[in-house]
A and B are shown apart, each in its own frame.
Chain A
């Protein structure tokens, strides 16, 4: 079942390239024809036109078509022009072959890249669905290259190779079955020997690859641990360790080199031996009179024609497994079902309600039977310690994860029934560690708000108290940030993420510990700005700081995935529960200061 599926994907990648590859295969055939015909014409020209050998039966028709051998002899330019014409055809079709092969390849690659990129972005976040970043990137880059190279460089040639082999074989058998039998028997030996060598070499290559991994890890560790190496003055130890692995790895390859050299020289040896055996047998057959001299020469040239395609065939077969692995790895990514985004249906309105929601990552519940309601236009504060499950609330509302039990409603509609594009388009979620895209600051802020004016961008930046910092950058809003640009501090990144979400102007906002790296003062002024500009929005503020949530209309206190307390700040303080304790701790003065105050 898996196999048909993988072929299905491969089919969709290759589909658009088929016309190009078709043209390429055709042009390739013409080129092969030209390169095969050219030596024949040259030998005819030298032997019979310039030289005085009689025209052999095979060339008679050809000579007559050109006006008879006598005419050609007196007009040598005909042959020259003929060669030139073949050259033009060859050059033209070589061009067509190369160009269309490449174009087919590019179409296939762009198809794979596009599909993989959009798929990877839409993979659900649930644990286990994704491998490490490095691994996926490898699948998206080098595996694509391996697969596409195999298809466009080798698979495309398969047809030509098979035809060449078949045609040569047929001609050889027609010329002399005995000699052809000898040739084939020897070819079987050659193929068997090279198959054995290839198997040994593959094993060696694998060993080398593994050792390369060890060496690579050794270097990697040294580089990441450079401070420790320096601190303990262990440069010499590190050098010796690396040297040992380096030497061992080199030694392995050198040993592999012996096998490789044996492979090349022995196949070369067998080929020439095969040639020698054929030559002797052929000579004997000629002398017996069962074979003509011309037939013998022709036989040898067909035999020679056979060697290269056979070698290529061997290569294709041994590369096929690599390409198959690459295809399998790509398919593994694609066959993980992606999220269905659906259409944006416009603004949502109404209350947010969690009804008996539970969630677990597999072992132990993160949230247990949580129910609460956020009235439209009100502010809910969520407070709790690390691991209390407060961030999970935000992820569940945006359906980054699906609850294990219970339901979530917005305006009475189950979020499961709202298309993701609509749901996420209405919830402005700001995460603690929002990603900064590698583009300019301005583009980052406007990324989710199509058609935002620069005035709006600056407005949002001002609300998020990041305008000043941006102005301080070398190119202001045009400064490139992210992976390939300036690095931002934690606080700047958080405020940028905030500005980006505020600009979207969604009816719902969820701030998930999104100002944890911002100092208290700035935090306070941002909250002030928010109240002023987004007073009508429905907001959930998640934090571990009491000051951040204390102005909320209602506060829920999460402990071990359960709601421990709820109410407004004043009531919760009066209740004397967990919230009161947190409040006390976070607003209280340290012991010695209290004493100082008293004095």
Chain B
């Protein structure tokens, strides 16, 4: 909050100034009538004009400063919140991203921060203005005549009771409204994405009916909300007018008794009317306050989410954190990996998927992991990449527990190529440099040639060819090849590949195959495999089913065992044959 204090103070000062001036300026009109028109002379008109102009200038200047300052404050708040959420997201584990939809996170960074910023600043601004007015009015009234002031303040208990009666209900209604609204959006989504299925099932009318139920519920709900808000509004309006009548009646009497002057009475009447606006504002602000509360809760929850995988302070001290790698302290990697008595269950799972698992993977070994979709093939990879930590036991690289070195060190030494390759929008060059910052033109050309991607680069008009959002200008196979080139530039000692299941054309498929073989050369590798050739050439094959490793061995060993692998192999073989048709 500290950096904003200055801006907040400035905002407050401007408000005070503007409110003060708005009290002064009506006085000019009465002065003109009383002094010039009544006296029928223009004497003193020049100083009058000068004084008035001064007020106008100061007032306009304050208005300018206030608006500008308000927007500055709003934008600074938003920027800092966006920065905080974005940077925090960079430190969270991949496991977190596996369970949280991108859309949700995106909303945290972009829209939640925006609504917090604008509501806090502008509602705060208006709230302040009203507060200044109410306090000022009350102070002036009590100075003039305490009894009549109490008469005006008689409205307060009415407002308090009405607020107590309505507020909780309003909050509940606003919350419920958000829920129904989410349902309607989901309904639209279903109507659009599900259209082909709905057509073939002929359920359009049924869905129309169901959707109509949601929107009718929304309509009923909104009318109910509107009824409450309007009633609340009217009650307040009525109460304040009654107060006004009371002031006039009682004030008129004491004016007649010459307790107060007529000018004082007129001031009181002005204030009694002026108190309505702040209350009406407050009613409308409730909705904002509720939504900002929800936004704040969400952002706080995100910022309080700790990464499942965290380096100890000692490790950070030596190896650096995610933003500042201390490369000078990083050891060179050899690439021997060992699982020692590793047991693991997923944070949301009940069953252990690995129990006392032991596996020695000397440098240069190729490990293939096979199994049906959803069998849990990614578990080992998740552990090696430290997207998750073992529940017990340890994983060592070059004889040292991976926890004793930083995640940054580990990731710098592991090349991880995904099933669906992800390219960033921008040029091919920018994407390749992602693998190795400062790679030379020569290095890039070499890497690209090695994975047969040189033709793609040429087709795209060189390294400065634009790949489009998410690599949209390229085919799936081309994206894969470029992501291999990127991995080659990074030159990792350990290579992890989640092989693509999606079909790509036969020619590209062959190129990809060659590229994968090149990548595996001389590296310790883990491959979640879908292609038979990759599997057959592996040094160790791990067969996964129901989340657990049920068989392990070489291709010929597993085939002659006639177990699960055999069936899987036969099925995959047929599948591939079918595709080759």
A binds B: yes
CB of A210 within 8 Å of the partner chain: no
CB of B265 within 8 Å of the partner chain: yes
CB of B507 within 8 Å of the partner chain: no
A258 and B68 within 8 A (CB):
yes
B265 and A226 within 8 A (CB):
no
- One digit per residue, 1 when the CB lies within 8 angstroms of any chain B CB and 0 when it does not, for chain A 261-299 equals 110111011001100100110011011000001001100
CB of A246 within 8 Å of the partner chain: yes
Shortest distance between the CB of A596 and any CB in chain B (Å): 7
- One digit per residue, 1 when the CB lies within 8 angstroms of any chain A CB and 0 when it does not, for chain B 401-416 equals 0000000100110111
CB of A60 within 8 Å of the partner chain: no
Cα–Cα, bound, A549→B172 (Å) = 58
* Most central of A247, A265, A384, A582 by chain B CB within 10 Å: A265
CB of B460 within 8 Å of the partner chain: no
Cα–Cα, bound, A120→B199 (Å) = 11
- One digit per residue, 1 when the CB lies within 8 angstroms of any chain B CB and 0 when it does not, for chain A 252-265 equals 01101110111011
CB of B281 within 8 Å of the partner chain: no
A99 and B226 within 8 A (CB):
yes
Interface residues of B in 523-581 (CB under 8 A from A): 556, 559-560, 569-571, 573-574, 577-581
A133 and B193 within 8 A (CB):
yes
Whose C-beta in chain A lies nearest to the C-beta of B210? A439
Instruction: Say yes or no: A448-B188 contact (C-beta < 8 A), given A121-B195, A225-B424, A256-B71.
Output: no
A246 and B79 within 8 A (CB):
yes
Q: How large is the interface on B (under 10, 10 to 19, 20 to 34, 35 or more residues)?
A: 35 or more
Cα–Cα, bound, A381→B190 (Å) = 32
Q: What is the number of contacts between chain A and chain B, taking CB atoms within 8 Å?
A: 409
Interface segment out of the listed B141-149, B242-250, B296-304: B242-250
Whose C-beta in chain A lies nearest to the C-beta of B408? A233
- One digit per residue, 1 when the CB lies within 8 angstroms of any chain B CB and 0 when it does not, for chain A 122-146 equals 1101000010010011001100000
Shortest distance between the CB of B258 and any CB in chain A (Å): 11
B25 and A272 within 8 A (CB):
yes
A483 and B198 within 8 A (CB):
no
Shortest distance between the CB of B112 and any CB in chain A (Å): 12
A223 and B235 within 8 A (CB):
no
Residues of chain A contacted by B573 (CB below 8 angstroms): 590
B29 and A110 within 8 A (CB):
no
Residues of chain A contacted by B400 (CB below 8 angstroms): none
Residues of chain A contacted by B473 (CB below 8 angstroms): none
B249 and A287 within 8 A (CB):
no
Shortest distance between the CB of A195 and any CB in chain B (Å): 19
Instruction: Say yes or no: A544-B191 contact (C-beta < 8 A), given A114-B212, A114-B215, A227-B94.
Output: no
CB of A236 within 8 Å of the partner chain: yes
Residues of chain B contacted by A51 (CB below 8 angstroms): 255, 262
- One digit per residue, 1 when the CB lies within 8 angstroms of any chain A CB and 0 when it does not, for chain B 167-204 equals 00000000000000000111111111111111111111
Cα–Cα, bound, A88→B323 (Å) = 65
Cα–Cα, bound, A339→B204 (Å) = 11
Instruction: Say yes or no: A91-B265 contact (C-beta < 8 A), given A246-B83, A448-B202, A501-B201.
Output: no
Residues of chain A contacted by B418 (CB below 8 angstroms): 227-228
A120 and B195 within 8 A (CB):
yes
Cα–Cα, bound, A491→B411 (Å) = 34
B230 and A99 within 8 A (CB):
yes
CB of A475 within 8 Å of the partner chain: no
Shortest distance between the CB of A515 and any CB in chain B (Å): 13
Cα–Cα, bound, A113→B351 (Å) = 46
CB of A70 within 8 Å of the partner chain: no
CB of A231 within 8 Å of the partner chain: yes
Instruction: Say yes or no: A437-B194 contact (C-beta < 8 A), given A545-B578, A592-B559.
Output: yes
CB of B392 within 8 Å of the partner chain: no
Interface residues of A in 65-103 (CB under 8 A from B): 76-77, 79-81, 83-84, 86-88, 90-92, 94-95, 98-99, 102-103
CB of B373 within 8 Å of the partner chain: yes
A260 and B67 within 8 A (CB):
yes
CB of A386 within 8 Å of the partner chain: yes
Interface segment out of the listed B51-59, B122-130, B337-345: B51-59
A235 and B323 within 8 A (CB):
yes
B25 and A121 within 8 A (CB):
no
Instruction: Say yes or no: A121-B248 contact (C-beta < 8 A), given A236-B323, A483-B186.
Output: no
CB of B33 within 8 Å of the partner chain: yes
- One digit per residue, 1 when the CB lies within 8 angstroms of any chain B CB and 0 when it does not, for chain A 408-444 equals 0000000000001100110101010011011000000
Interface residues of B in 278-323 (CB under 8 A from A): 322-323
Shortest distance between the CB of B118 and any CB in chain A (Å): 11
Instruction: Say yes or no: A231-B416 contact (C-beta < 8 A), given A51-B262, A91-B238.
Output: yes
B208 and A254 within 8 A (CB):
no
A137 and B200 within 8 A (CB):
no
Cα–Cα, bound, A501→B187 (Å) = 22
A235 and B322 within 8 A (CB):
yes
* Most central of A94, A231, A284 by chain B CB within 10 Å: A231
CB of B150 within 8 Å of the partner chain: no
Interface segment out of the listed A213-221, A317-325, A527-535: A213-221
Cα–Cα, bound, A233→B233 (Å) = 56
CB of B164 within 8 Å of the partner chain: no
B204 and A102 within 8 A (CB):
no
**B581 touches which one: A264, A265, A582 (CB < 8 A)?**
A582
Residues of chain B contacted by A215 (CB below 8 angstroms): 82, 110
CB of A234 within 8 Å of the partner chain: yes
Cα–Cα, bound, A258→B573 (Å) = 68
Residues of chain A contacted by B187 (CB below 8 angstroms): 117
Shortest distance between the CB of B201 and any CB in chain A (Å): 4
Residues of chain A contacted by B66 (CB below 8 angstroms): 261
A45 and B422 within 8 A (CB):
no
CB of B153 within 8 Å of the partner chain: no
Shortest distance between the CB of A50 and any CB in chain B (Å): 5
Cα–Cα, bound, A106→B174 (Å) = 16
Q: How many residues of A contact B (CB 8 A)?
A: 152
Cα–Cα, bound, A586→B571 (Å) = 9
CB of B475 within 8 Å of the partner chain: no
CB of B4 within 8 Å of the partner chain: no
Residues of chain B contacted by A223 (CB below 8 angstroms): 89, 97, 102, 105-106, 109
A242 and B490 within 8 A (CB):
no
A283 and B42 within 8 A (CB):
yes
**B208 touches which one: A110, A117, A420 (CB < 8 A)?**
A117
Instruction: Say yes or no: A120-B188 contact (C-beta < 8 A), given A95-B230, A590-B573.
Output: yes
Cα–Cα, bound, A45→B201 (Å) = 74
Instruction: Say yes or no: A447-B203 contact (C-beta < 8 A), given A253-B75, A269-B56.
Output: yes
A254 and B60 within 8 A (CB):
no
**A261 touches which one: B67, B192, B234, B373 (CB < 8 A)?**
B67
CB of B364 within 8 Å of the partner chain: no
CB of A593 within 8 Å of the partner chain: yes
CB of A585 within 8 Å of the partner chain: yes
A228 and B434 within 8 A (CB):
yes
Instruction: Say yes or no: A84-B578 contact (C-beta < 8 A), given A137-B192, A435-B194.
Output: no
B325 and A233 within 8 A (CB):
yes
Given contacts A106-B223, A253-B75, 8 further A-B contacts (CB under 8 A): A83-B248, A94-B237, A102-B226, A130-B192, A137-B192, A223-B102, A589-B570, A592-B556
Q: Which residues of B contact A (CB under 8 A)?
A: 25, 28-29, 32-33, 36-38, 40-42, 45, 49, 52-53, 56-57, 59-61, 63-68, 70-72, 75-76, 78-79, 82-83, 86-87, 89-91, 94, 97, 102, 105-106, 109-110, 184-208, 211-212, 215-216, 218-219, 222-223, 226-227, 229-231, 233-235, 237-238, 240-242, 244-246, 248-249, 251-253, 255-256, 262, 265-266, 269, 273, 322-325, 372-374, 385, 387, 408, 411-412, 414-416, 418, 422, 424-425, 434-435, 437, 469-470, 486, 490, 503, 556, 559-560, 569-571, 573-574, 577-581
A and B contact pairs by CB, cutoff 8 A, 23 listed: A50-B251, A84-B242, A86-B241, A87-B240, A90-B241, A113-B215, A133-B192, A137-B189, A141-B188, A221-B470, A223-B102, A223-B106, A224-B422, A233-B408, A236-B324, A250-B76, A276-B52, A279-B32, A427-B200, A483-B190, A484-B186, A582-B581, A585-B577
Which 5 residue pairs of A and B lie closest in terms of their CB atoms, listed nearest first? A87-B241, A257-B71, A261-B67, A102-B226, A585-B577
